[in-house]
Amino acid sequence: MIFLPQQVSEALDILENAGFEAYVVGECVREMILGRSPQDFDIVTSAGINDILFAFRDYRISDEGMSKGEIMVTILGMVIAVSPYRREVVGQRVMYAPDLETDLARRGFTMNAMAYSPKTGLIDPYDGKTALVGGEVKKVVAIGENVTVNVKVSGVPTVQTVYDMTKSFSIAPSRLLEAVRYCAEDEYEIEEQTRNCMRANLACFDYADADLLREELQRIVMGKFAARALEKNADILSYILPEIEPCITCGQHSPHHDFTVWVHICKAVGYALPEPAIRFAMLFHDLGKPDCMSLDKNGRGHFKGHGERSRLLAEGIMRRLNFPKAFADEISWLVYHHDVPIPEDRRELKALIRELGAQDLKELLQCEIADSRARKPEINNEPAPQTVTLRKSLADLNEIINTNECYDISQLAVTRRELLDRKLAHNETEADQLMNALFEIVLDKPSFNNRLMLIDIAEKSKSKLEQIEADKRRAEEERAERERVKRAKGRRGESVFSKKKKL
């Protein structure tokens, strides 16, 4: 049973009362059939653009989507996209359609080609509902058309009618990734005939918009089931990411890894925190391993320099797919440093925070945790010792940041200027030395980073230093006096004349 929100029902009623057909279509219908509550609703209608504008003249209207033939109507706080029937949308060019079925036919996959209105019920010309709820697994099925082809049967030319899905992908090449995206975001499987058609039309990628491909790829790696979708659809992905092809069959020959490079990459993406930069870094982090692999005399695999090689391959991919520069730089940095040793000692961890920055180190730790988890199967959900150590370092890092624990000299509760003003240091060099001494104390004892306490330590240190200096001066004076006395005694004890030795 499909229940529409009040705002959507009101929009349908307005169009129908004006004498037009009106239906909710696409993703929102699919989600409602699956028992979910979609947030975005699309309505198609037999009304033209001007008719839609007139019908909703009493409501807030935006022409933001006008280039795609859409009018955005706000009803009781909900924004609804209303458009005439469309045959195709190519860039800024819209081709309108005469009827609903033509509009549904352009939607690529059967599960998106359903329409509904309370007046007519569900309209499903391509049996999309069966693909969703007709079996144990939801299926991604491309919309096709019956075409006649000439074939030979036993050497005799014959005309046959076949169901061809090619048009779905040739018109919108990004649908090749869209199908994979459904598998990554939800528990879908690509229907076999659809998969065969996708394999046969991979060259359509050559005509795809790079920005659309990047957006689809990002949604794939961000999906809940990204690991499974990437692993099962490597044959599709390798056309736009040829860098992954050597990884698919590359065994690692290492006691630390039980998977091929590609399976390890897929699992690392799945284990990674769902942040775009981290997920993409995991997708790219080991691409350079096949090029850097060497076997020692024991047959064990080594991958010296694979971080740098992976970074170069990642940057090539990101240039092809028009990644924003700042985003690409962040991913590139994570890929290059993804196997940097992380110290267990808290003091050394603070030094690494100073060197890399808190946020960068945090993202790097999250990458290394995902990388560690993807190396071997977790037995009884028990993480490997390395994973436990990395998680402890991440917890320590979070604690340092959240409690504002001092890890940089600029965080000291006193300043060099204050030490100079209080005459605790006579010049800037002494002030710097004292600041460094206080910082060393605070690194080991964070609770000492208190202004009054540090000033007290500085005053005591000054008194102690003055005492040490006074003791040194007194000891030097005493030594000099002893030397003077010794020299004086030596001069008085010397004879004025010395006897010559007999020859």
The predicted-structure confidence for 398-423, as pLDDT tens digits, reads as follows 999 999 999 999 999 988 888 888 88
Q: How far lies 235's CA from each of 238, 240, 317, in Å?
A: 5, 10, 17
Q: Residues 6 or more apart from 181 whose CB is under 8 A from it?
A: 216, 219, 220, 223, 229
Q: Determine the Cα–Cα distance for residues 385 and 368; give it in Å rounded to an integer.
A: 13
For residue 278, how many other CB atoms are within 10 A of its CB?
23
Quick one: pLDDT band at residue 503, thresholds 50, 70, 90?
very low
Q: Are strands 71-75 and 156-164 parallel, antiparallel or unpaired?
A: unpaired
Residue 361 corresponds to which amino acid? L
pTM of the predicted protein model: 0.85
What pLDDT digit, counting tens, does each position of 465-478 carry?
Answer: 556 566 677 778 88
Q: Strand 41-45 to strand 78-84: parallel, antiparallel, or no bridges (unpaired)?
A: parallel
Neighbours of 133 (CB within 10 A): 11
Long-range CB pairs of 31-38, under 8 A, 24+ apart, other chains included: 32/2, 32/3, 32/116, 33/2, 33/114, 33/122, 33/129, 33/132, 33/133, 34/132, 34/133, 34/138
**Residue range 63-107, pLDDT digits in tens:** 888 888 999 999 999 999 999 999 988 777 889 999 999 999 999
Mean pLDDT, to the nearest integer, of 375-387? Answer: 83
Percentage above 90 pLDDT, the chain: 66
Beta strands in 165-226, from DSSP E residues, in sequence order = 188-190
pLDDT band of residue 436 (cuts 50, 70, 90) is confident
Q: Among residues 419, 428, 425, which one has the least CA distance to residue 454?
A: 419
- Angstrom CA distances, 80 to 61, 105, 106, stand at 10, 22, 20
pLDDT for 119-132, tens place per residue?
999 999 999 999 99
